[in-house]
A and B are shown apart, each in its own frame.
Chain A
Amino acid sequence: GAVVSQHPSRVICKSGTSVKIECRSLDFQATTMFWYRQFPKQSLMLMATSNEGSKATYEQGVEKDKFLINHASLTLSTLTVTSAHPEDSSFYICSARASGDTGELFFGEGSRLTVL
């Protein structure tokens, strides 16, 4: 099956710093990538939809300036958590859908962010 790679898998940072998480589709072109946040024992919460070459579409309540998303190519989307605070600590997961495909999503491995 298709492979989506997410990096880093774990990151610990100090409060006030910025952290970048990368999501790559390794063997297919992904025109659309999705970024989720998951709190313990809760379901995935969609943060934003990232389309290659255009601005991301953010879900209600998600701060655009706080969570910067860039989808510069058909195989790479990045999420930057700016000026991170302890409440931003969470499990962040990306997923990708192949071009023209309205079906299965392929998920990255997830990134656990801990802000001290």
Chain B
Amino acid sequence: DIQMTQSPSSLSASVGDRVTITCQASQDIRTYLNWYQQKPGKAPKVLIYDASNLETGVPSRFSGSGSGTDFSFTISSLQPEDIATYYCQQYDNLPLRFGQGTRLEIK
């Protein structure tokens, strides 16, 4: 199985801050990585697919990059509505696996 290590597990930042989350795969997954946002009590929603492609309708302040084993997810200017938990997910191989999640809070 491919293991996904996401960091940090939690993050506190101010409105307008640039926020970056990283995700490391235990083996090369090319660019087969997605990023999801999950707000409290809601189902996850995909924001970034294939490592760097912005999902239709998602604000451009969200971005993703990386390939191989190291990936990052960035919010360029944090907004109050971005408070959520973020997960990476690999699909290079089965089983599909998510990172442990990063809980983002407003300082």
A binds B: no
| Interface residues of A, Cβ cutoff 8 Å to B | none
